Chains A and B, each alone.
Chain A
Amino acid sequence: MNVEEYIASGILDSYAVGAVSDQELREVNCLASIYPEIRHELDELMLSVENYALLHSIEPPTGLRDRIASQLTFEEADDNNTIVRPLPLDREAPVAATQPYTYKTTWMVAAAAALLVLFFSYFLITQLQSNQKAMASLREANESMQNELKQTRTSQQQTEQTLAMLRQPGTRTLELRGNDKSPKGDILVFWNPGTKQVAVEVKSLPALPADKQYQLWSLVNGKPIDAGVFDGNLDGTALQKLNRAIAEADAFAVTVEKRGGSPTPSMETLLAMSPTA
C-alpha cells in the first residue's frame, strides 16, 4: 500500500475533524497502528484540530465545578492507600493468573504420568500373563512330548523285546482267542521250548479288579501247569515275560485267578485256550 497516497487522499484530515464513518474510523486506526508515517501525520492533524478547538475556550460559570463534583463519588485520598492499594492488585493479578495454571499443569502432568504408568503396568501384566500361558503350554507340550517319548521308548523296548524273542530260533507264536466269556479276548503267547521262555502280549482283554490277575497255564498231558500271571489292562501291546520255565506244552490256556496266581486253575474262568500243535 502506498502510504503517501493514503495520506494525500484526505481521509486522515476527515478523521481529525470527526467526519468519517465507523468503518473508515476503524480503518484509519488500524493503518495508523501499522504505519508510523500515518501515525505521525494523524497525530499532527489531531493536534492542529485540538489547538483550533482550544481557541474557542470559554471559562464556564463559577459553581459548575461544585455542581459536577456533587454528582461524582470520590474516594478518600489517603497517602498510605495510594501506595499500598495497587500492590495487592499487582500481586494478585499474576498470582491469580499463574497459580491455577501451574497448579493445573502439575496435576495434568501427574495425571498423565499416572496414566502412563497404569498403561505400562497393564501392558506388563498382559505380557506376563501371556508369557505364563506360553510357558504353561510349552511345559504341557514338553510333558506330553516326554510322555510320548517315554511311551515311544517303552514301546520300542517292548518291540525290541518282542523282536528279540522272535529272533530267537525256535520261538513259537500262538494266538489265543477268547471264548464266549471273553469274546474279544485275544492274546499272543510266545514260547520258546529251547530256552523255556514264555511271554504274552495282550491284544485285548477285559480289565480286572485289583485283586485279580490273568494266569497262563500250559497243559501237559491234560495237566495244567502254572506258566505265570500277567495283567490284562496294560496300555499298548506290552510284552509280558512270564517267570516260569516251560519246557513242554500241548496247549496254553488263560484263566482269571486271584492276584499272584493259583496253584490250580479255576476252570470256570477259562477265557481262552489254544493248542500248541
Chain B
Amino acid sequence: MKRQSSLVSESVLIEKLVQRDQKAFHWLYDQYSPALYGVVLRIVREEEHAQDLVQDIFVKIWKNLDAYDPSKGRLFTWMLNVARNTAIDALRAQKSQPSSANAIRTDEENVHVVDRQHNTQQPNPEHIGIQDVVSQLRPDRRQLIDLVYFGGYTHEEAADELNLPLGTVKTRIRAALQELKQLFKS
C-alpha cells in the first residue's frame, strides 16, 4: 500500500514509534486503522468483536515493535499480517465452538459490506472502489481469494468447500492474483 505522506516518512515514523511517542501512535492509528478494522470485520463479521480485536492488534503491534524488521518488508505489510493472523485465530476459536454455525459469507452479505463503503473515506490514492475491482474480477476467483485470505482456509479446505480438485484451487489462486496485479497496475 503506497500511502506517501509528505509529512511523515516511514523510517521517521518507526523511529518515533520505537520511542513510544504518543503522537506517532495517533498518526499510525489514523493512517492504518480503517484498513485493519475493515479486514478484521471482513474476517469475523461482527462489529463489536472486530473492535475488540483491533484493540488487541494495536496493543500487540505496540508491544512487539522491536520484532518488526524494516529490511524484511514495509510496516503496513507487517501490521496487516498481525491483524489477519489475530482475526483468523479468533475466527477459528469461534468455529470450534459448536454453538455458532458460521458459514462462508454469501454475496448478499458482501453487498451489505460494500454499501457501507460509500460513507467511508477511500484510502486508495487511485480511488479504485471495491465495486470497480469486484466487477472486474471474475466471481469464481474472487470467491476463492475471499475464502483463503479472509476465511483463513487452506488449499485443501477451500477445495472441499468449493468441490474443486486441489490443483484447480492452486491455479485459480494464481490466476486471481495475476488478475488483481493487472487491475491495480492499470
Interface residues of A (CB under 8 A from B): 8, 10, 13-14, 16-19, 44-61, 64-65, 67-69, 71-75, 77, 81-82, 85
Contact = CB atoms under 8 A, between A and B. Distances in A.
A57 B120 CA distance: 8
B149 A17 contact: yes
A60 B153 contact: no
A17 B41 CA distance: 17
Contacts of B116: 58
B148 interface: yes
Interface in B10-38: 16, 19-23, 25-26, 29-30, 33-35, 37-38
B22 A60 contact: no
Contacts of A18: 81, 84-85, 88, 148-149, 152
A52 B133 contact: yes
A77 B154 CA distance: 44
Contacts of B102: none
A72 B59 contact: yes
A197 B180 CA distance: 146
A16 B170 CA distance: 12
A68 B55 contact: yes
B87 to A, nearest CB: 11
B92 interface: no
B39 interface: yes
A54 B180 contact: no
Contact of B34 (A17, A50, A59, A75): A59
5 contacts: A17-B173, A58-B34, A68-B54, A68-B55, A71-B55
Main secondary structure of the interface of A (DSSP, over half): helix
B19 A53 contact: no
Interface of B: 1-2, 16, 19-23, 25-26, 29-30, 33-35, 37-39, 41-42, 47, 51, 54-55, 58-59, 62, 73, 76-77, 80-81, 84-85, 88, 113, 116-117, 120-124, 128-130, 133, 145, 148-149, 152-155, 158, 170-171, 173-174, 176-178, 180-181, 183-184
B113 to A, nearest CB: 7
Nearest to A42: B73
A60 B170 contact: no
Given A48-B177, A56-B113, A19 B34 contact: no
B120 A50 contact: no
A58 B54 CA distance: 12
A71 B153 contact: no
Contact of A56 (B39, B47, B51, B85): B39
B180 A48 contact: yes
A53 B77 contact: no
Contacts of B33: 59-60, 64-65
A69 to B, nearest CB: 6
A34 to B, nearest CB: 15
A68 B155 CA distance: 35
Q: Which of A10, A13, A56, A85 has the most CB of B within 10 A?
A: A56
A71 B60 CA distance: 11
B55 A51 contact: no
Contact of A46 (B21, B41, B77, B170): B77
Contacts of A19: 148-149, 153-155, 158, 173
A14 B144 CA distance: 11
A18 B128 CA distance: 23
Given A47-B1, A51-B184, A56-B42, 19 more contacts: A10-B174, A13-B174, A14-B173, A19-B148, A19-B154, A47-B2, A48-B177, A55-B130, A56-B35, A56-B113, A59-B33, A60-B54, A61-B51, A69-B26, A72-B20, A72-B58, A74-B25, A77-B16, A82-B19
